[in-house]
């Protein structure tokens, strides 16, 4: 029998009834980050303790997907937004499990596990009060941390898979119209109007068409898509079913990068479960329409996040892009009309269909509607994933949600858009974050990576880092990118080493322009962005390297030395304790000395010294 | 048929035809490296770039691939085009300092100095991919291919060993624009891509001609008896 | 290196002899042998009716594939942006020093292969190190030794 809404409602009632029977639901985050911190052990121990304590009928222990607060993992949530515990089991699994149980059975809040910001006294009990969560508007991530991503019934019970029923009542043109009017723009970096792309794909000639989900997320520093694919895989499938119907495609592929094995397995399981319910396969949702999805794993090539390279990879070839003089919506995968969207874009679709245009367009700015998931990492106190409405300012993101800069340091720059983006200095902190504003100042939204830097990050080194990355990841097909990225790298490397010349800056701009115009694909075309944006906003730093042979941030090893200021050194020996090379010598309470021959200029001593007694030279 | 303009001159052409072909036919000069009449367009070298104004949008595109469209304006020597060409040639000259063809083209297009440390290990190979396409599409044995990625990308036989399917025909030597691919012949043995081929001796004039292996391959694939093929082309 | 042709054919059949799944076929073979043997690539190309150059191109394009034998354990040090900013390069250098091996190569005793990887997506826990399928977050230079010994004791 074909799937019906009643069927989903029955499942929903059953899940709700089951969960209501428990006194408390304890959700243990089991995303990649928390697993790294030991979440699996916490989950297993907790389940055992609940069983052996005779509490199995009172406490339901659930595994959930990635919350986004990965640095503080393992994260455990009690009840519905009642209590959030961080770093559970990091020091002692048994002890913390005990604390968890006591919270439920005795109402005793475990102070040691509460969220707090380093250096501040305030502790938070409910996640709703934590600034990191308070400032968010979790729509796409709404079910992350709530449902068990390996249980389709859980997704259904929380409202999942209703949108296709609604969509199949509409005509494909009506859906496309709706998505277009919603203003949804590609979340992978291009920011192209999704509805417009769907319209072109629908209009393209041919009956065999494909819909693709880009889960290649290669931008280093970005893990939004990982979290979504691991924590709520059904959201992507649901979106693709609607998109497939709208465009007239029966076959979808989700391309997941090789470095995300958990995402691959969660998506595979989700697809199997969806198939068993008649949501994928033939006559999906009783609509008379066939649609299925297959997963493809990447092979560790960043360039395969580019649409034509991704399609080449799907065809079993190497990931070389091609010129897009003929668009992929007309000739894409196997030369057939293909609609490619990022996984986050797909996950927005069911919400638009369920809640309508009025609701969606009320969020965001004029030209950038809806929310965006960002990975806020680097030198902020609260690092992790945040979903915020477009139009929020950088200052709010970094200083409220992010809790400000770590330690006693100052904000220096925030890098957005990954290797295709640029560095934004303090003067733009009050800028509203949306597609066009970021582009207007020489950066871009990209996939959502937001890397915060302080005065101990060297912007020339950052430019060098991205150029090294792009040189390695260039597919090598076209001359400008293959040769240009490595030559740009060589120039910036020389500058980092104190061998730069003042002509280098103009040279980099010229070479950059040639790549922007001459390269085949986005990788080469945007490769100059990091170096050009840092030259634009941090030219003083470049000049210090070139003219003075000095790295003000103390990062570029060839031109940096660390030395101890004797008058300030109290001999506390914190530096020598942390020095990985044993390069600091001295008696307790006597001024220490750094042995230059052993020193690897890592700067850890400088960062830990409580007395400012180490100087960068 | 569509109407477009190149450097201000109004031209009619087939819709979808590559701008390069149209331009060359009309007498415009556009330099190329990875394009070949028999093998088509690749879009790799980016030397053939031109500036196109299409529906109010300005782009720099590879003319060997960009399709003719109604109303587009093409400029073969704009500042951006010249910058890309100069850059491509300077980069290639740094990569292949000994390649005479690149030296000549670079000089022709205003490259007066190479501001990079020249490579010593790339020979004259500019990765135009003509040899690969020739071996695949014209000869049909696919003995050459690309491997690696980015700065490590190179051309050669699979696994960097003499290719099992290579018939020693030397077509790759002929098609290579820079002369990077070499073929040596000594005492009746031809060596190309490190594979040695015994050359057949013509029964009539007693001179060496094609590799035996190649003749055997032609015999098998085209069903021509070996006795016929053993006679060299001059004597037939 | 002798490859089990039957095993290879099983894998090819699993993917319905579809050339489009070449990368997946190679990855499954690599799981079996801990690397992608040249003979396996040749056999697969023969079975799929594709020239060896195409197989070699794919095998050398994707960083996750290795035509060179790998050690018992593969150490991936993440060099993503967040990891770089938190000293990822120094972590890599530590492994190079401790194991006396260059990045991309295998230790003389065949125990460890050291690779760098451009972002594992666990950026909040930078610097990241992945050994086989186990992740280590916030890898300090002192933790490097612990990680190595954890995998040297278990065989």
> How many Å lie between the alpha carbon of A524 and the closest alpha carbon of chain B?
11
Chains near A, with 3+ CB pairs < 8 A? B, C
Q: Could you tell me which of A528, A452, A434, A453 has the C-alpha nearest to residue A487? A: A528
- State how far the Cα of A332 lies from the Cα of A312, in Å rounded to an integer: 9
- The answer to whether B65 contacts A323, with C-beta atoms less than 8 Å apart, is yes
CA dist A196 and A342 (Å) reads 15
- What CA–CA distances, in Å, run from A202 to A186, A242, C28? 17, 13, 36
Q: Tens of pLDDT along A493-533?
A: 999 999 999 999 999 999 999 999 999 999 999 999 999 99
Check A325 against B67: CB less than 8 A apart. Answer: yes
Q: What is the pLDDT of residue C153?
A: 67
C-alpha dihedral sign at A337, A340, A345, A349: positive
| β-strand partners of A278 | none
With an 8 Å Cβ cutoff, are C125 and A37 in contact?
yes
The whole-number pLDDT of residue C99 equals: 94
pLDDT at A1: 64
Residue A366: the pLDDT is: 95
pLDDT digits (tens, 9 = 90+) for B170-190: 999 999 999 999 999 999 999
The confidence score (pLDDT) of residue A2 equals 77
Of residues C23, C117, C123, nearest to A375 (C-beta) = C123
Residue bearing tokens 């012949």: B185
Lowest mean pLDDT across A32-36, A346-350, A590-594, B92-96: A32-36
Cα gap A490→A518, rounded to integer Å: 20
C110 lies in some domain: yes
Tell me B134's DSSP state.
I
Cross-chain CB nearest to A318 (options C57, C123, C136): C57
Mean pLDDT on B213-230: 94
A600 — pLDDT class (breaks 50, 70, 90): confident
CB neighbour list of residue A260: distance below 8 Å, 6 or more residues apart: A32, A215, A217, A226, A229, A230, C121
Give me chain B's average pLDDT, please: 96
Name the residue among B118, C133, C110, B43 with its Cα closest to residue A264: C133
- Match 């990068």 to its residue by tokens: A257
**Considering chain A, what is the average pLDDT of its residues?**
95
Give B-chain residues touching A520 at CB under 8 angstroms.
43, 46, 62
**Is residue C83 situated within a structural domain?**
yes
User: Who contacts B163 (Cβ-Cβ below 8 Å, separation ≥6)?
Assistant: B141, B143, B144, B157, B193, B195, C52, C53
Q: Which two tokens stand for residue B82?
A: 């010249």
Give the C window 63-122 contacts with B, CB below 8 Å.
Answer: 63, 67
CA angle C85, A496, A423 (to 5 degrees): 50
Sign of the four-CA dihedral A48, A49, A55, A60:
negative
Both C37 and C87 in a single domain? no
Q: What is the pLDDT of residue A273?
A: 98
The two structure tokens encoding residue C104:
């991309």
So what's the ipTM on this one?
Answer: 0.96
pLDDT over 90 percentage in chain A: 91
- The C-alpha angle with vertex B106 and arms to B101 and B109, in degrees rounded to 5, equals 130
Average pLDDT over every residue of A177-194:
95
Q: Residue B150: list chain A partners with CB under 8 A.
A: 471-476, 482, 485-486
Q: Is the pLDDT of residue C123 over 90?
A: no
Confidence of residue C138 (pLDDT cuts 50, 70, 90): confident
pLDDT at position C154: 58
Closest CA to A259 of C141, C62, C61: C62
Q: How many residues does chain C have?
A: 155
Confidence (pLDDT) at C7: 96
Question: Where along chain B do the CATH 3.10.20.740 domains lie?
Answer: 1-122
Q: What is the CATH number of the domain that holds C120?
A: 3.40.30.10
Q: What's residue A121's pLDDT?
A: 86
Q: How far apart are CA A542 and CA A505, in angstroms?
A: 8
Give how many domains chain C has, as a whole number.
Answer: 2
- The full length of chain A comes to 617
Cα(A62)–Cα(A272) distance, integer angstroms = 21
Taking phi over 0 as left and psi of -120 to 50 as alpha, with beta for the rest, A87 belongs to left
Q: What is the pLDDT of residue A399?
A: 96
Residues 6+ apart with CB under 8 A from C37: C1, C3, C29, C67
pLDDT of residue A510: 98
Residue C131 structure tokens:
């050994």
Which of B142, B148, B149 has its CB closest to that of C53? B142
What residues 7-66 of chain B have any CB closer than 8 A to a CB of chain A?
43-47, 49, 60-62, 65-66
Confidence of residue A71 (pLDDT cuts 50, 70, 90): confident
Token code pair at residue B118: 């020249």
pTM of the model: 0.95
pLDDT per residue over A277-293, tens digit each?
999 999 999 999 999 99
In the block, residue with structure tokens 């399928």: C133
pLDDT at A526: 96
Task: Kindly list the partner chains of chain B, i.e. chains with 3 or more CB atom pairs below 8 Å.
Answer: A, C
Please indicate if any CB of chain C lies within 8 Å of the CB of A378: yes
Q: How would you classify residue A278: left for phi > 0, otherwise alpha for psi between -120 and 50, otherwise beta?
A: left
- Each residue of A157-169: pLDDT tens digit? 999 999 999 999 9
| Contact check, Cβ <8 Å, C51/B165 | yes
Q: Are A203 and A248 in contact (CB under 8 A)?
A: no
> Which tokens hold the place of A67?
């919350």
> pLDDT, tens digit, for every residue of A110-133?
999 999 887 788 999 999 999 999
Helix (H, G, I), strand (E, B), or coil: what is residue A537?
helix
User: What does the alpha-carbon distance between residue A34 and residue A36 come to, in Å, rounded to a whole number?
Assistant: 5
**Residue C102: domain span:** 73-153
Q: What is the pLDDT of residues A360-416, one digit of tens each?
A: 999 999 999 999 999 999 999 999 999 999 999 999 999 999 999 998 899 999 999
Residues sharing a CB contact under 8 Å with residue C84, sequence separation 6 or more, in sequence order: A220, A465
Alpha helices (H) along A343-433: 343-361, 394-395
Residue range A4-20: mean pLDDT, rounded: 96
Of A70, A315, A465, the CB nearest to C20: A315
Backbone angles phi, psi at B101, to 5 degrees: -60, -45
What CA–CA distance (Å, rounded) separates A610 from A572? 9
- Predicted confidence (pLDDT) at residue C20 exceeds the cutoff of 70: yes
Q: Are residues C52 and C84 in the same domain?
A: no
Local confidence band at A442 (pLDDT 50, 70, 90 cut-offs): confident
State the pLDDT confidence band at A70, using cuts at 50, 70 and 90: confident
User: In terms of Cα–Cα distance, which of A391, A383, A341 is closest to A362?
Assistant: A391
- Going by the DSSP 8-state scheme, the letter that residue B68 receives in this structure is P
Domain final position from C19, C41, C61:
C61
C118 chain-A contacts, CB cut-off 8 A: 218, 220, 302, 469, 472-473
- Residue A606, pLDDT > 70, answer yes
What order do you get walking across the sheet with B189-192 strand by strand? B183-186, B189-192, B195-201, B208-211
Contact B92 A483 (CB under 8 A): yes
Residues C24 and C51 in one domain: yes
DSSP-based three-state secondary structure for A93: helix
**Distance from B147 to chain C by nearest Cα, in Å?**
5
**Residue A439 in 3-state DSSP?**
helix
Mean pLDDT of C82-103: 90
The pLDDT tens digits for A54-66 are 999 999 999 998 8
pLDDT one-digit tens code per residue, C60-79: 999 999 999 999 999 999 99
**Confidence at residue A602, expressed as pLDDT on a 0 to 100 scale:** 87
pLDDT band of residue C81 (cuts 50, 70, 90) is confident
Average pLDDT, chain C: 92
Residue C48 domain flag: yes
Cα–Cα–Cα angle for A394, A399, A404, rounded to 5 degrees: 130
Q: Are residues C82 and C105 in the same domain?
A: yes
- Out of A102-116, A339-353, B122-136, pick the least confident: A102-116
CATH number for the region B1-122 comes to 3.10.20.740
Q: Does residue C27 form part of some domain? A: yes
Dump pLDDT digits (tens) for B126-145.
999 999 999 999 999 999 99
Q: Which residue has the tokens 């959700």?
A: A27
Handedness of CA B88, B92, B94, B97 (dihedral sign): negative
Q: How far apart are CA C111 and CA A526, in angstroms?
A: 40
Domains of chain A: 20-129 (3.40.30.10), 152-360 (3.40.50.11540), 371-454 (3.10.20.600), 459-548 (1.20.1440.230), 561-616 (3.30.70.20)
Q: List strand residue ranges (DSSP E) for A353-490, in order.
A: 371-378, 384-389, 411-416, 422-425, 449-454
- Asked if C53 and B164 come within 8 Å (Cβ–Cβ), the reply is no
Judge: B145–C54 Cβ closer than 8 Å, yes or no. Answer: yes
Q: Could C51 and B136 be called an inter-chain contact, meaning their C-beta atoms sit closer than 8 Å?
A: yes
Please count the residue pairs, one from chain A and one from chain C, whose beta carbons lie less than 8 angstroms apart.
147
- Closest residue by Cα to residue A216 from A481, A456, A523: A523
pLDDT of residue B194: 96
Neighbouring C-alpha atoms within 13 Å toward the C-beta of A110: 24
Mean predicted confidence (pLDDT) in A443-464: 95
Q: How many A/B residue pairs have CB atoms within 8 Å?
A: 100
Q: Checking phi first, is residue B8 left (phi over 0); if not, alpha (psi -120 to 50) or beta?
A: left
Which residues fall within 8 angstroms of residue C80, CB to CB, at 6 or more apart? A220, A221, C88, C118, C119, C120, C121, C123, C126, C128
Do C82 and C17 share a domain, yes or no? no
Q: How confident is the model at residue B200 (pLDDT cuts 50, 70, 90)?
A: very high
Q: What are phi and psi of B195, to 5 degrees?
A: -110, 135
Residue C67 lies in a domain: no
Picking from B207, B132, B203, B141, the residue whose alpha carbon sits closest to that of residue B169 is B141
Across C97-108, average pLDDT: 94
Q: Is the pLDDT of residue A490 over 90?
A: yes
| Predicted local distance difference test score (pLDDT) of residue A617 | 84
Domain assignment of residue C66, yes or no: no
Q: What is the DSSP letter of A74?
A: S
DSSP states of C70-112: --SEEEEEE-SHHHHHTTHHHHHHHHHHHHT--TT-B-TTSSE
Is C13 within a domain?
yes
Whole-angstrom distance, CA of residue C64 vs CA of residue C29: 12
The phi and psi torsions of A505 (rounded to 5 degrees) equal -65, -45
Say whether B150 and A510 touch across the interface (CB within 8 A): no
Report the DSSP beta bridge partners of residue A294: A253
State the Cα–Cα distance between residues A250 and A241, nearest whole angstrom. 9
pLDDT surpassing 80 at residue B102? yes
Separation CA A382–CA A42 (nearest Å): 22
Q: Which helix (H) or strand (E) holds A27?
A: strand A24-29
**Interface test mutation site (partner B, options A301, A479, A486, max chain B beta carbons within 10 A):** A479
Sign of CA dihedral A144, A148, A152, A155: negative
pLDDT at A4 over 90: yes
């Amino acid at each position: 029998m074909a799937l019906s809404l009643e069927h989903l409602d029955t499942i929903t009632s059953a899940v709700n009834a089951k969960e209501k029977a428990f006194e408390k639901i304890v959700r243990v985050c089991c995303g990649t980050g928390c697993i790294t911190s030991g979440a699996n052990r916490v989950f297993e121990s907790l389940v055992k303790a609940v069983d052996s304590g005779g509490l199995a009928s009172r406490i339901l222990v659930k595994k959930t997907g990635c919350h986004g607060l990965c640095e503080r993992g393992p994260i455990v949530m009690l009840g519905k937004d009642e209590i959030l515990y961080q770093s559970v089991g990091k020091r002692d699994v048994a002890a913390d499990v005990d604390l968890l149980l006591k919270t439920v059975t005795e109402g005793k809040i475990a102070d040691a596990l509460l969220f707090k910001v380093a250096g501040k006294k305030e502790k938070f009990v409910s996640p709703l009060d934590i600034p990191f969560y308070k400032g968010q508007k979790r729509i796409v991530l709404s079910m992350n941390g709530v449902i068990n991503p390996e249980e389709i019934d859980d997704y259904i019970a929380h409202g999942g898979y209703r949108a296709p029923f609604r969509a199949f009542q509409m005509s494909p043109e009506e859906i496309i119209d709706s998505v277009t009017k919603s203003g949804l723009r590609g979340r992978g970096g291009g920011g192209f109007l999704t509805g417009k792309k769907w319209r072109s794909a629908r209009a393209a000639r041919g009956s065999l068409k494909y819909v693709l989900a880009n889960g290649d997320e290669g931008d280093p520093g970005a893990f939004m898509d990982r979290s979504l694919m691991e924590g709520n895989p059904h959201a992507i499938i649901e979106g693709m079913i609607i998109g497939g119907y709208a465009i007239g495609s029966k076959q979808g592929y989700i391309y997941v990068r090789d470095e995300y094995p958990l995402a691959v397995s969660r998506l595979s399981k989700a697809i199997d479960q969806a198939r068993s319910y008649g949501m994928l396969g033939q006559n999906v949702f009783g609509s008379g329409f066939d649609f299925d999805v297959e997963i493809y794993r990447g092979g560790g090539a960043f360039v395969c996040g580019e649409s034509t390279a991704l399609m080449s990879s799907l065809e079993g070839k190497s990931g070389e892009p091609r010129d897009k003089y003929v668009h992929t919506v007309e000739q894409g995968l196997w030369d057939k009309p293909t609609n490619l969207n990022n996984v986050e874009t797909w996950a927005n679709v069911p919400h638009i269909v369920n809640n309508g245009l009025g609701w969606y367009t009320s969020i965001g700015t004029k030209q950038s509607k809806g929310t965006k998931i960002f990975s806020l990492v680097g030198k902020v106190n609260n690092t992790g994933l945040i979903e915020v409405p477009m139009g929020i300012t950088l200052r709010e993101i970094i200083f409220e949600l992010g809790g400000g800069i770590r330690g006693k340091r100052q904000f220096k720059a925030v890098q957005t858009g990954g290797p295709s983006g640029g560095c934004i200095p303090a003067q733009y902190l009050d800028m509203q974050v949306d597609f066009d504003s970021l582009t207007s100042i020489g950066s871009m939204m990209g996939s959502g990576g937001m890397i915060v830097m302080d005065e101990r990050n060297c912007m020339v080194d950052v430019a060098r880092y991205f150029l090294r990355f792009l040189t390695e990841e260039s597919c090598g097909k076209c001359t400008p990118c293959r040769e240009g990225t490595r030559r740009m790298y060589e120039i910036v490397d020389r500058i980092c080493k104190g061998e730069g010349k003042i002509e280098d800056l103009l040279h980099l701009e010229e070479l950059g322009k040639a790549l922007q115009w001459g390269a085949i694909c986005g990788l080469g075309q945007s490769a100059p962005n990091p170096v050009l944006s840092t030259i634009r906003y941090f030219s003083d730093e470049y000049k210090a390297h070139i003219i003075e042979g000095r790295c003000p941030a103390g990062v570029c090893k060839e031109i940096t030395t660390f030395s101890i200021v004797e008058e300030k050194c109290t001999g506390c020996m914190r530096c020598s304790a942390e020095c990985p090379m044993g390069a600091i010598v001295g008696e307790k309470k006597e001024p220490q000395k750094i042995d230059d021959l052993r020193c690897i200029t890592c700067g850890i001593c400088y960062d830990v010294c409580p007395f400012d007694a180490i100087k960068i030279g | 048929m569509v109407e477009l303009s190149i450097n201000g001159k109004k031209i009619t052409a087939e819709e979808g035809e590559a701008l390069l072909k149209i331009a060359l036919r009309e007498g415009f000069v556009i330099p190329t490296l990875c394009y070949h009449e028999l093998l088509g367009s690749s879009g790799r070298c980016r030397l053939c770039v031109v500036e196109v104004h299409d529906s109010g949008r300005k782009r720099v595109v590879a003319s060997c691939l960009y399709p003719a469209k109604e109303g587009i304006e093409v400029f073969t020597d704009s500042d951006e085009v010249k910058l890309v060409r100069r850059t491509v040639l300077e980069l290639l000259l740094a990569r292949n300092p000994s390649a005479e063809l690149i030296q000549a083209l670079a000089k022709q297009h205003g490259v007066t100095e190479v501001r990079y440390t020249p490579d010593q290990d790339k020979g004259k190979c500019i990765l135009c991919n003509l040899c690969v396409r020739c071996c695949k599409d014209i000869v049909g044995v696919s003995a050459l291919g690309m491997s690696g990625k980015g700065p490590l990308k190179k051309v050669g036989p699979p696994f960097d060993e003499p290719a099992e399917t290579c018939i020693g025909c030397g077509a790759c030597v002929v098609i290579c624009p820079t002369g990077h691919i070499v073929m040596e012949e000594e005492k009746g043995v031809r060596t190309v891509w490190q594979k040695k081929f015994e050359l057949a001796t013509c029964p009539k004039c007693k001179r060496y001609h094609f590799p035996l292996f190649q003749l055997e391959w032609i015999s098998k694939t085209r069903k021509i008896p070996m006795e016929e093929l053993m006679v060299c082309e001059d004597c037939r | 290196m002798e490859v089990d042709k039957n095993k290879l054919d099983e894998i090819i059949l699993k993917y319905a002899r579809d050339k489009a799944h070449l990368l997946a076929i190679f990855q499954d073979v690599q799981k079996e042998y801990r690397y992608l043997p040249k003979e396996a690539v040749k056999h697969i190309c023969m079975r799929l009716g594709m020239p060896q150059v195409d197989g070699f191109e794919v095998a050398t394009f994707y960083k996750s594939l290795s035509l060179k034998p790998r050690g018992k354990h593969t150490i991936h040090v993440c060099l993503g942006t967040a990891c770089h900013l938190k000293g990822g390069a120094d972590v890599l250098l530590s492994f190079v020093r401790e194991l006396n091996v260059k990045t991309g190569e295998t230790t003389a005793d065949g125990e460890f292969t050291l690779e760098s990887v451009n972002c594992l997506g666990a950026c909040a826990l930078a610097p990241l190190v992945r050994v086989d399928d186990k992740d280590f977050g916030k890898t300090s230079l002192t933790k490097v030794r612990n990680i190595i010994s954890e995998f040297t004791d278990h065989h």
